[in-house]
Structure 1
Amino acid sequence: MATGFGFTVQATDGKARTGVIETTRGAVRTPAFMPVGTAGTVKAMLPESVRATGADILLGNTYHLMLRPTAERIAALGGLHKFMNWDRPILTDSGGFQVMSLASLRKMTEEGVRFSSHIDGSKHMLTPERSMEIQKLLGSDIVMCFDECPALPATDAEVAKSMRMSMRWAQRSRDAFGDRPGHALFGIMQGGVTRALREESAEALTAIGFDGYAVGGLAVGEGQEAMFDVLNYAPGMLPEDKPRYLMGVGKPDDIVGAVERGIDMMDCVLPSRSGRTGQAWTRMGQINIKNARHQNDPRPLDEACTCPACRNYSRAYLHHVNKAGEIIASMLMTWHNLHYYQELMQGLRDAIAGGRLAAFVADFHAKRAQGDIEPL
């Protein structure tokens, strides 16, 4: 296991846990939400602004960075942390999900995936070994195994075949990763929504041995109810003394439900992507700032929020800059959303530590049920 990397559970409340992941680049408080910096940037944000929202760790995308500007170029320029001016921990995904969802003309074999770039059509081969090499060139602190993520719905036979190949790829990823002090490698559980397949996957990963474990293959079209059904048992199949990471999740109520079920880490493009399309996430639920009801409203998005968008700007202004297509609209809305997400994580951590998670969750759902403030 990685030296310079550790995980401590400090308190539990039901299945929920709060603790700290230690890395050589700083501590990550859990449960943690990781903003997604796809191409070496969290869109519309400066790195110091992302940090100001309370983020301890960012996610980078192997697929996007290997194609442009290339992992070799980033390595020559001092690694991803220096390249993007983020000196805290970075987790990189393996590229598997993007290959499945973005690349064209892909051909998958036991060796890996041959595909054409969505940018310029150039041909590439991504294997477990190449994914480990790219993530090493990037210099990420937490490296993800290369896996295949089948889209749901799929037959049990399809899911089982895919999961077993992902487990063989997990062993190859572990072998290729080698011994890298200060860097951690996470395995990824697959198995769709089938309990026996999830169990088989968890056993295979635990036998290989990883620094942390992800629950993969969810939030890919199965719906929240089916996802929660899997999360009712899947985290408990993974080692208790290692971080558990739910990939690609999610909306605030997905996050709260996942934390209740024992998840320690999550990532999602939603807060930043929503911000660029005029959607704000608040304690009262979702607000579309483009709606005409906001155009004369001098009040902030959320009166209890301390982000720059809420402290310094009115709904009327945010409505105007969104409608006008001004860049500041994306900046302010994204900052607000990331601030809200990190505030939610801090609230969850405090509630678990204080043994009052049930009350926190009830209050969370009650405020969202009330909906947005009445229009003026």
Structure 2
Amino acid sequence: MTDQMQMSETTPPLGADRMNKGQPVPNPAPTEFGFKLLATDGKARRGEVFMPRGTIRTPAFMPVGTAATVKFMYPGQVRDLGADVILGNTYHLMLRPGAERVDALGGLHKFANWPYPILTDSGGFQVMSLAQLRKMSEEGVEFKSHIDGAKFMMTPERSIEIQCLLGSDIQMQLDECTRLPAKEIEIEKAMQLSLRWAERCKTQFGDRPGQAMFGIVQGGDIPRLREESARALKAMDLKGYSIGGLAVGEPQAVMLDILDVTCPILPENKPRYLMGVGTPDDLMEAVSRGVDMFDCVMPTRAGRHGLAFTRFGKVNLKNARHKDDPRPLDPESDCPAARDYSRAYLYHLVKSNEALGAMLLSWNNLAYYQSLMQGMRDAIEAGRFEDHKAEVKEGWARGDMPAL
């Protein structure tokens, strides 16, 4: 493993010469955190989130590195695909290896060999979905680790303290994320608690010129609650705004309706981040409503389970129809995983449960997601976003690529 890691630091990954076309041109590093809107097309926005460690070109997809690693990927590969930022998770990193240990080892960027921007979420969603015997109060949330049952108390102040120890560039407020469907009174109670926690997180975060804390709009599937949450957070004058609680089982139509209500309220001169979303179609529809940033485990999780995303739609490599197919996933792709391996071989790897299958399909999927984002950025700049969206969807609808 050491030899491989040393090689990745000195030698570009296979295909890097083809795949770094979308990398930003280096500029002198800014000392402040900020957002610049470069172009609009309808509600779709092309911009840049800038900070000392680099610039995030928006619309942006952030690969998820939950435990300080994007699963089955080398950091250099992730960067060469065009990713400007990755996501780390406060809940998982506080449990293992521990925020204080990461800090003592030089911070998360050094620890993970990723010197570019990192966003950390607050851990609130993982507490809701993973932790045992959680108990919510005004002070915070008491819970037991899903790993060993150890008891912890996560307050808004402690969430920010952990994220500061990790050294992330963009940090999230602690919020209470309610699973849908839920009663309106429960959704409103959680939204109001999240607003009070946002104030406490803002105070704890303080003044950090090169970093940012984002607030999280909550309110479930109730438009008036989303509006109230968005307006209250806007009044706090934060550096960015996230829209949470929309990857918890609701239909896409509900998510899009909430974005239609929420995005127009948020400041035009601040980045907007839709948390935990989603499918390629989700991303395109959200961009058309004014969202700038996304994260989701879907491309890597799907890759580990034999599912590939392509410009022709999804390809299930567990399906026996691929076992004698010599075609690659996409012969025109810049990604070697999509271009240089047959479907028959990928089917074999998946059915044999070989790690290389998960590696290649994760690589392919992340490459496709980054290509999708670059296509949207280009289309917004050219003033043809809606035409581009229709063309991409037509490719999905036509289905699999023609025979070679």
Q: Which TM-score band (shorter chain)?
A: over 0.9
* Match status 1:32 vs 2:53: no
Question: 1:41 offset after TM fit, Å?
Answer: 0.2
Does the 8 Å contact 1:8/1:21 carry over to 2?
yes
Please say which of residues 365-374 and 169-178 is displaced more in the overlay. 365-374
Of stretches 155-164 and 267-276 in structure 1, the one that deviates more from structure 2 is 155-164
Letter in 1 for 2:53: R
Provide the C-alpha distance between the structure 1 equivalents of 2:340 and 2:41, rounded to a whole number of angstroms: 37
- The CA deviation string for residues 83-103 of structure 1, in whole angstroms up to 9 with x for no partner, is 000010000000000000000
Deviation at 1:312, TM superposition (A): 1.8
- C-alpha separation in 2, matches of 1:105 and 1:293: 45
* More deviation, 169-178/287-296: 287-296
- The C-alpha deviation readout for 1:237-289, integer Å capped at 9, x for no partner, is 11110000000000000000000000000000000000000000111111111
Q: Which residue of 2 aligns with 1:307?
A: 335
Q: Which residue of 2 aligns with 1:134?
A: 162
1:357 aligned to which of 364, 370, 385:
385
How far, CA to CA, are the matches of 2:158 and 2:219 in structure 1?
24
* Distance across 1 between alignment mates of 2:403 and 2:135: 53
Tell me the equivalent position of 1:115.
143
Q: Contact 1:294 / 1:375 at 8 angstroms: preserved in 2? A: no
The aligned counterpart of 1:45 is 73
User: Which residues of 2 match residues 59-70 of structure 1 at below 5 A?
Assistant: 59-70=87-98
State the shift of 1:374 in Å: 5.8
> Counterpart in 2 of 1:284?
312
Is the aligned partner of 1:215 residue 2:275? Answer: no
Which residue among 217, 236, 239 is the counterpart of 2:264?
Answer: 236
Moved more, 365-374 or 58-67: 365-374
**2:379 aligns to what SS in structure 1?**
helix
Q: Does 1:256 align with 2:284?
A: yes
- Distance in 1, matches of 2:313 and 2:278, equals 14
2:131 matched residue in structure 1: 103
Contact 1:293–1:375 (Cα < 8 Å) also in 2: no
Map 1:327-342 → 2, pairs under 5 A = 327-342=355-370
Q: Residue 222 of structure 1: SS of its match in structure 2?
A: coil
2:266 maps to 1:266: no
Give distance in 2, aligned partners of 1:86 and 1:191: 34
> Helix, strand or coil for the counterpart of 1:36?
coil
In structure 1, runs of 5+ residues without a counterpart are: none
How far 1:233 sits from its partner (Å)?
2.1
The answer to which of 228-237 and 50-59 deviates more is 228-237
Task: Answer whether contact 2:31 2:52 (CA < 8 A) is retained.
Answer: no
Q: CA deviation at 1:156?
A: 1.5
How far did 1:34 drift?
Answer: 0.2
Structure 2 unmatched ranges of 5 or more: 1-29
Name the CA distance, whole Å, in 1 between partners of 2:261 and 2:311.
29
One-letter amino acid of the structure 1 residue matched with residue 190 of structure 2: S
**1:315-349 residue CA offsets vs partner (Å, 9 max, x unmatched):** 11111111111111111100000000000000000
2: CA distance, partners of 1:232 / 1:368: 25
User: Do 1:295 and 1:316's aligned partners in 2 also have CA atoms closer than 8 Å?
Assistant: yes
Q: Which of residues 82, 90, 114 is equivalent to 1:54?
A: 82
Task: Supply the distance in 1 between the matched residues of 2:152 and 2:237 (Cα, whole angstroms).
Answer: 29
Could you tell me which of 3, 6, 9 is aligned with 2:37? Answer: 9
| Alignment of structure 1 residues 67-216 onto 2, 5 Å | 67-216=95-244
Contact 2:227 2:261 in 1 (8 A): no
Residues in 1 aligned to 2:328 and 2:385: alpha-carbon distance in whole angstroms: 28
In 2, Cα distance between equivalents of 1:269 and 1:253: 15
**Structure 2 CA distance for aligned equivalents of residues 116 and 307 of structure 1:** 42
Cα distance between partner residues in 2 of 1:15 and 1:304: 31
Report the Cα offset of residue 304 of structure 1. 2.4
Q: Distance in 1 between matches of 2:402 and 2:381?
A: 35
- State the shift of 1:311 in Å: 2.5
RMSD: 1.2
Tell me the distance in 2 between the aligned counterparts of 1:289 and 1:333: 9
Taking a change above 3 Å as real, the CA distance of residues 173 and 3 of structure 1, as seen in their structure-2 partners, is: farther
What corresponds to 2:344 in structure 1? Answer: 316
Question: For residues 105 and 31 of structure 2, what CA distance do their matches in structure 1 show?
Answer: 26
Aligned length: 375
Pairwise CA distance, 1:217:
1.1
Work out the CA distance in 2 between the residues paired with 1:363 and 1:169. 43
Equivalent position amino acid for 2:355 in 1: I
Rounded Cα–Cα distance in structure 2 between residues aligned with 1:375 and 1:93: 44
Letter in 2 for 1:35: P
One-letter identity of the residue aligned with 1:180: R
The one-letter amino acid of 1:247's match is M
More moved, 338-347 vs 277-286: 277-286
- Deviation, structure 1 residue 181: 2.3
Determine helix, strand or coil for the equivalent of 1:11. Answer: strand
CA distance in 2, matches of 1:306, 1:148: 41
Distance 2:279 2:308 in 1: 12
Does structure 2 retain, via aligned residues, the 8 Å contact 1:116–1:123?
yes
Q: List, as ranges, runs of 4+ consecutive aligned residues in structure 1 with deviation greater than 2 Å.
A: 373-376
Q: What is the rounded CA distance, in whole Å, between the counterparts of 1:161 and 1:147 in structure 2?
A: 12
